[in-house]
Amino acid sequence: MSSFEALAGDLRAALGESDLVTEPEELAYYGQDRCRGGWPVAPSAIAFPRDIGQVQALVRACAHHGVAIVPSGGRTGLAGAATATRGELVVSFDRFNRRCEVEAPAKLVHCDPGVTIARVHEAAAACGLRYPVDWAASGTAQVGGSIATNAGGIRVLRYGSTRAWVRDLELVLADGRHLRLAGNVLKDNTGYDLRQLFIASEGTLGLIVGASLGLVSPPADRLVVAGGVGGMPQMLALFERLRAGLSTLSAFECFDGGCVEHVVAHRGQGAQRPMAEDHAQYVVLEVEIERAGEGAKEAMTDQLMELLADAQEAGELDDAVLAASDQQARALWAWREDISESLHPHTPHKADVCVPVHRIAVFEAAWRDALASQLEGIEARCFGHVGDGNLHLNLLRPAAMSLEDFLARCHAFDDTLYRLVCAHEGSVSAEHGVGLLKRRALEIQREGGQLDAMRAIKAALDPGGLFNPGKIFT
Amino acid sequence: MSSFEALAGDLRAALGESDLVTEPEELAYYGQDRCRGGWPVAPSAIAFPRDIGQVQALVRACAHHGVAIVPSGGRTGLAGAATATRGELVVSFDRFNRRCEVEAPAKLVHCDPGVTIARVHEAAAACGLRYPVDWAASGTAQVGGSIATNAGGIRVLRYGSTRAWVRDLELVLADGRHLRLAGNVLKDNTGYDLRQLFIASEGTLGLIVGASLGLVSPPADRLVVAGGVGGMPQMLALFERLRAGLSTLSAFECFDGGCVEHVVAHRGQGAQRPMAEDHAQYVVLEVEIERAGEGAKEAMTDQLMELLADAQEAGELDDAVLAASDQQARALWAWREDISESLHPHTPHKADVCVPVHRIAVFEAAWRDALASQLEGIEARCFGHVGDGNLHLNLLRPAAMSLEDFLARCHAFDDTLYRLVCAHEGSVSAEHGVGLLKRRALEIQREGGQLDAMRAIKAALDPGGLFNPGKIFT
């Protein structure tokens, strides 16, 4: 009897009858996330625990039989962290999703790990509150996975990433023990903050089996502006002006003129353009208005208009449109939100990098220089979150170039890019994590001593290498 | 030759001639922090390294000779974490303090570990910026120590504790290796955030040998209000009203009427009282005004006055005074700041606890009930940071009671108090850390599995137990 067959017997005893599946199509579906890196997708089985006790039982069984575990949330990850390549058991949290309970006085939502972020948003809204972290995949992404990958998104500028909103965190460790790490107080200097270690650990240290997330009072209203800008230096100057003047600036997103062309082309015949004239760079920004009432809205509008007029005078801004209704606000946001989908037909090779905000213009220019000398003939598009220093860099495959040639050239360029990022003291993976995809990039960014320290911690908490082997570091 | 004599030879080779001292008065002075717990103060020597290379050399020498290290900053700690009880080498960072360099465009200050927080404040101010963390001991406290203990203070409400402002962090590990953990970008999902582990680790995992701290633009102005309040439930309601309406509320401090009596007595003959009538509770609050100009100040003043009038109408506030000048603002703040010193003659037994903000009134009432049944005749005073849920609870020794009797009764009560804190999902050490003093309290708060996980991490990074043995956990 192979070790997996023996394990399967123990798992069937611990889980519900239908909560362990081995059908090939299920293995292919649950065996990977959204990253397609060319790795084998080869889990042994998919387990669907429904509570902490079942998770503990399956961890103990896997440890006993020597079968590794790949934790799996909404599988919206873009780095392969939820991909099973060598006969692991995939532990899906899809059915461990009963609890999503708002405790309004404490501004908390208590969640099972498989609850989607969209459900968190709905539950909070139903109580007049808001979970401030949001990103494109939040309809499918799950609480546990969002913590394990420290999801970011569009309002990090004002609210931070998921790390800033994790309060209590519940874990099952490699020995099957259940830990409940309390985090509901603002000040707590009682030893190492273990929660921080598990956040962004990509499932390599333990399984997240519950969390309380912090909530905020939603703003009463918002102002949304789209603007045309002459270049990244002006974009940066505009951002710094607004950031200094507006404490509730909640998003400041940029995209280059080429992105607009792709969105227009993607929308097809009759599509409008964002402004009367074309610009080298565009911005969509959002300012939140905390207090209800026309007075507060007028005051904030005046303040914003004054700052934008000053920016125009200083040459930082060429043109701007203020949304006059929520519908217009959504339409302005759509220019930013539709970019990824518009680029999709060109099989883009993506990078997700971060540099210190004040270096974003210098970095972007250096990236364009490197492209010009190394990737002539390949279109490059840049969009992202200026306020976080986070740029999404996309290389588009020319119609006449084979995918193989294209990827070979892109991969050769990646090393240049990542060294450039490190020279600007940046991060080779801002939001997407390391997983399987960026292990080489990680070695460019992090010196050996840091990787050794990470490995020592991994060995201390998971001595048998049970959780997500081969992810982050080899 | 004892192991210490052999070590001393190696240290003298590595350090400057006068940078290793063994005089008894120096040992007594540098061998402990501000906590007086009755432990022996018994370091073997005090070393004063001046750069990273010297720190590495002394760590390697100590490891080689089997002599443990107690790291020592400004020694303002209140939990005994910087106390050497058993022949350790105290490594003082007093002379490793050359660099305190502001990089204005990046809003960073790059610091040697021994630079005082006051010097950080001055350097930032000289560049038109501000380091937003501040607390009573910041004139003496050092950068390294403030990170190792995650110092909090008076503006955590708006700005968070030290943890929120650590960017790059440089360490020397137990094997003498130097790590530079980059943290200058807002988004960086590239493996475990090791920095988080060293923050608040109280010197048990490695030595902090450098840090970059984040800076902010200072507010243009501030409004300071003192108020009289009927009780803690009203205090909490007032806080929640202001918090929801004022995004720049930067401090909300409370103290009970008895604290005022002590401050008045301490100031002596002719001392004024804070308001015309006496109140059960007092608040001092501060609102920051981000934009310069009379218009912005007037608008914020109107907004604050309107909220305070609503609060008065709702019975949350009995009386309030708005400071009309910076001098008046300082005078109102002094009512809060002078409390500790005013209580000092009564040899107070202190606790520094935190509960979820929305439970602060219920917790305070439960504490008073427990006092009434267990500590009759002992005066208890409460002040603290309402907005953080952080209360400083002080028991005062009756003049007729011996110190021994008093402490015996206080220590017996501590167990009750800490269980009460945990029942309210709070922290037994909000700001002060664990050190030697709160190891028993830690065992009340943290379940065994958490302490085991901390010990496993300690063993992974410091297998020889070189750094600060016996601190946090036994």
Q: How confident is the model at residue B32 (pLDDT cuts 50, 70, 90)?
A: very high
Structure tokens at A241: 């002006």
Whole-Å CA distances, A106 to A102, A213, A231, A397, B252: 9, 10, 44, 50, 18
> How do residues B406-445 score in pLDDT, each as one tens digit?
999 999 999 999 999 999 999 999 999 999 999 999 999 9
Q: What contacts A284, CB < 8 A, 6 or more positions away?
A: A224, A225, A226, A227, A251, A253, A255, A332, A333, A335, A336
Q: Mean of the pLDDT values across residues B379-390?
A: 96
The pLDDT assigned to A256 comes to 98
> How do residues B190-236 score in pLDDT, each as one tens digit?
999 999 999 999 999 999 999 999 999 999 999 999 999 999 999 99
Q: How many CB atoms lie within 10 A of CB A405?
A: 12
Nearest-Cα distance to chain B for A214, in Å, is: 12
Please tell me chain B's helix, strand, coil percentages from 3-state DSSP, rounded to the nearest 5: 40, 20, 40
> How do residues A49-69 score in pLDDT, each as one tens digit?
999 999 999 999 999 999 999
Hey, are the CB atoms on A453 and B106 less than 8 Å from each other? no
CB burial of A235-247 (b: ≥16 within 10 Å; e: otherwise) equals bbbbbbbbbebbb
Question: Strand B249-256 to strand B379-385: parallel, antiparallel, or no bridges (unpaired)?
Answer: antiparallel
Whole-Å CA distances, B37 to A211, B30, B45, B149: 37, 16, 21, 18
Q: How many CB atoms lie within 10 A of CB B457?
A: 22
The pLDDT assigned to A38 comes to 86
- From A29-38, A157-166, B304-313, the region with the lowest mean pLDDT: A29-38
Q: How confident is the model at residue A290 (pLDDT cuts 50, 70, 90)?
A: confident
The pLDDT assigned to B165 comes to 97
Report the SS3 class of residue B299.
Answer: helix
> How do residues B129-139 score in pLDDT, each as one tens digit?
999 999 989 99
Give the type of residue at B121: H
Q: Which residues of chain B are within 8 Å of residue A199 when distances are taken between CB atoms?
A: 193
CB B18 within 8 A of CB B95: no
Q: Say if residue B1's pLDDT is above 80.
A: no
Interchain contact B201–A (C-beta under 8 A): yes
- Partnered with residue A225 across adjacent β-strands are A285, A322
> How do residues A218-232 score in pLDDT, each as one tens digit?
999 999 999 999 999
Roughly what angle, to the nearest 10 degrees, separates helices B360-374 and B403-423? 140
Q: Mean of the pLDDT values across residues A10-16?
A: 94
Q: Say if residue A191's pLDDT is above 60.
A: yes
CB B414 within 8 A of CB B445: no
Q: What contacts B120, CB < 8 A, 6 or more positions away?
A: B100, B109, B111, B131, B143, B213
Q: How many CB atoms lie within 10 A of CB B382?
A: 19
Q: Mean of the pLDDT values across residues A437-456?
A: 94
Those of residues 95-154 in A touching chain B at CB distance below 8 A are 105-107, 149-150, 152
> How do residues A117-151 score in pLDDT, each as one tens digit?
999 999 999 999 999 999 989 999 999 999 999 99
Q: Say if residue A258's pLDDT is above 70.
A: yes
Which among A154, A159, A185 is the top mutation candidate for probing chain B, defined by the most B β-carbons within 10 Å of its own β-carbon? Answer: A185
Q: Say if residue B28's pLDDT is above 70.
A: yes
Phi, psi of A321 (to 5 degrees): -125, 125
Q: Say if residue B393's pLDDT is above 90.
A: yes
The pLDDT assigned to B16 comes to 87
> How do residues A371-413 score in pLDDT, each as one tens digit?
999 999 999 999 999 999 999 999 999 999 999 999 999 999 9
Structure tokens at A310: 């000053």
Structure tokens at A295: 């007075």
Interchain contact A447–B (C-beta under 8 A): yes
Phi, psi of A427 (to 5 degrees): -115, 135
Residue A4, sorted as left (phi over 0), alpha (psi -120 to 50) or beta, turns out to be alpha
Q: Which residues of chain B are within 8 Å of residue A187 when distances are taken between CB atoms?
A: 152, 156, 161, 354, 385, 388-390, 427, 430-431
The pLDDT assigned to A200 comes to 98
CB A252 within 8 A of CB A387: yes
Structure tokens at A71: 């934790």
Q: How confident is the model at residue A2 (pLDDT cuts 50, 70, 90)?
A: low
Which among B158, B165, B185 is the top mutation candidate for probing chain A, defined by the most A β-carbons within 10 Å of its own β-carbon? Answer: B185
Average pLDDT over all residues of chain B: 95
How many contacts does A have with B, using Cβ atoms within 8 A? 224
Q: Say if residue A1's pLDDT is above 70.
A: no
d(Cα B158, Cα A296) in Å, to the nearest integer? 21
Q: Say if residue B374's pLDDT is above 90.
A: yes
Q: Say if residue B471's pLDDT is above 70.
A: yes
Complete edge-to-edge strand list for the sheet that includes strand A69-72: A20-21, A45-47, A89-92, A69-72
CB B42 within 8 A of CB B87: yes
End-to-end Cα spacing for chain A: 30
The pLDDT assigned to B2 comes to 66
Q: Say if residue A77's pLDDT is above 60.
A: yes
Nearest-Cα distance to chain B for A420, in Å, is: 15
Q: Say if residue A366's pLDDT is above 80.
A: yes
Share of chain B above pLDDT 70, in %: 100
> How do residues B244-280 score in pLDDT, each as one tens digit?
888 899 999 999 999 999 999 999 988 999 999 999 9
